[in-house]
């Protein structure tokens, strides 16, 4: 059956803008594209130990058999959630099927009518989708700008302290709760907010701070525990969302928080309630990967060394002005225009480097970019070769 004409028109418009998405064909290229920051996704040791764990514990079930509230809550979930909570120094952890499910489930269920959500303008699409599904009012603040955030807080007079000093002039009912939402490492810029300042604002105005740590797990902190914990701020944050499909190299996610929050999500997060649970094999992979994090300091340090080398070399080659400031594994060179950035990415790929272009509308028009993802297993020779090639393509 033919696609409706309205949908055909949208596809044609994407094609006209050179922004039509297509599934890529896997090629044997040097990896500067994947989120497998410390190589866990390709770890034969983790693969074999996961299989052995299932055999040792006589777990021979292929699927969860149902939602976790019906038949899918196998014992391995409790073991893994307890391990995750202890690793992250959190009271509890609740596993979701993916980072997308975790964000949609959390933000659609937790903020209530008359609540206010203030979120960084560059927050991930999964956060935005969850917010859109909630009944709360939401406003974005300028990226990593705590001054702009505080202006919004004062505008809505949500702090109990602020209200006691300056009574509201409006007759409208005051929102009951304020949520501040950000990411510890942003997926498209690779930069980080000042979490100490955000914590201070949350405490000053009695707000609930929620932080997505998808691109920090396995990367930041001595054991890859994430930015929040590396700064000893875990007790100051209402909820952390940890995603496993990136630095941990597997699949799924967890929301870290209080026992009450976990109970609330089990009862009201629709993306948790109305879906089949992860298979025992998936959960066992999460557990084994977390166990490996405790002993991967050298691997994490190798990644940090590569990030430092990349930053030093781009400065040496005169490429620094192209790049968004970042000390994370995500490094982005702004090359405006879908046509131009796709052309340069194609040339890099033809020379053997898997570097992906990020096009509008994924990023705003004029902010199109090449996104370099660095890994512990990239060599200095590979980094040198790809940046020298980029230099010739950009400047010649």
Measured between alpha carbons, how far is 11 from 224 in angstroms, rounded to an integer? 41
pLDDT tens column, 78-127: 999 999 999 999 999 999 999 999 999 999 999 999 999 999 999 999 99
pLDDT at 271: 98
Bridge partners for 239 per DSSP: 210
Residue 93 makes CB contacts below 8 A (sequence gap 6+) with 81, 82, 84, 85, 242, 254, 255, 256, 262
DSSP character for 164?
A: H
pLDDT tens column, 363-386: 999 999 999 999 999 999 999 999
Sign of CA dihedral 327, 42, 230, 90: positive
Bridge partners for 255 per DSSP: 94, 241
Q: Which CATH number fits domain 61-293: 3.30.70.2190, 1.25.40.20, 3.40.50.2300, 3.40.640.10?
A: 3.40.640.10
Burial, 143: exposed, middle or buried (Cβ in 10 Å; 0-12, 13-18, 19+)?
A: middle
Q: Which CATH number fits domain 25-40+296-395: 3.90.1660.10, 3.40.30.10, 3.90.1150.10, 3.40.50.300?
A: 3.90.1150.10
pLDDT at 191: 95
Measured between alpha carbons, how far is 73 from 259 in angstroms, rounded to an integer? 17
* Structural domain boundaries in the chain: 25-40+296-395, 61-293
Give residue for tokens 């790809």. Answer: 386
pLDDT at 19: 85
pLDDT at 175: 56
Give residue for tokens 């939602």. Answer: 67
pLDDT at 250: 97
Measured between alpha carbons, how far is 90 from 226 in angstroms, rounded to an integer? 13
pLDDT at 304: 96
pLDDT at 165: 47
pLDDT at 173: 54
Instruction: Enumerate residue ranges in the chain where pLDDT < 70.
Output: 157-175
Structure tokens at 143: 């990226």
Measured between alpha carbons, how far is 279 from 272 in angstroms, rounded to an integer? 14
pLDDT at 203: 96
> How open is the CA angle 299-301-304, to the nearest 5 degrees?
120
């Amino acid at each position: 059956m033919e696609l409706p004409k309205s949908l055909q028109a949208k596809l044609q418009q994407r094609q006209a803008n050179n922004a039509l998405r297509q599934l890529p064909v896997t090629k044997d290229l040097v990896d500067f594209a994947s989120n497998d920051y410390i190589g866990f996704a390709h770890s034969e040791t983790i693969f074999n130990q996961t299989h052995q764990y299932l055999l040792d514990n006589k777990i021979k079930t292929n699927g969860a058999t149902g939602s976790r509230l019906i038949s899918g809550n196998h014992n391995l979930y409790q073991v893994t959630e307890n391990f995750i909570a202890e690793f992250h120094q959190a009271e509890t952890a609740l596993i979701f099927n993916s980072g997308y499910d975790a964000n949609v489930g959390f933000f659609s269920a937790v903020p209530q009518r008359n609540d206010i959500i203030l979120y960084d303008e560059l927050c991930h699409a999964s956060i935005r989708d969850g917010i859109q599904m909630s009944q709360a009012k939401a406003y974005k603040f300028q990226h990593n700008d705590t001054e702009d955030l505080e202006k919004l807080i004062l505008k809505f007079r949500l702090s109990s302290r602020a209200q006691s000093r300056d009574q509201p002039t409006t007759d409208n009912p005051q929102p009951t709760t304020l949520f501040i939402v950000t990411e510890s490492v942003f997926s498209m810029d690779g930069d980080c907010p000042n979490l100490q300042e955000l914590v201070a604002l949350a405490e000053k105005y009695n707000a609930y701070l929620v932080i997505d740590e998808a691109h920090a797990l396995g990367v930041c902190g001595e054991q890859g525990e994430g930015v929040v914990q590396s700064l000893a701020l875990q007790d100051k944050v209402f909820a952390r969302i940890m995603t496993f499909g990136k630095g941990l190299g597997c699949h799924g996610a967890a929301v870290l928080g209080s026992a009450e929050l976990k109970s609330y999500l089990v009862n009201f997060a629709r993306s948790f309630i109305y879906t089949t649970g992860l298979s025992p094999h998936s959960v066992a992979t999460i557990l084994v990967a977390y166990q490996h994090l405790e002993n991967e300091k050298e691997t994490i340090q190798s990644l940090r060394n590569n990030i430092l080398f990349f930053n030093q070399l781009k400065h040496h080659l005169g490429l620094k002005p192209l790049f968004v400031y970042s000390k994370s594994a995500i490094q982005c060179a702004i090359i405006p225009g879908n046509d131009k950035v796709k052309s340069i990415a194609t040339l890099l790929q033809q020379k053997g480097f898997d570097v992906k272009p990020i096009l509008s509308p994924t990023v705003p028009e004029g902010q199109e970019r090449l996104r370099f993802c660095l890994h512990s297993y990239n060599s200095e020779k590979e980094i040198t070769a790809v940046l020298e090639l980029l230099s010739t393509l950009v400047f010649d």
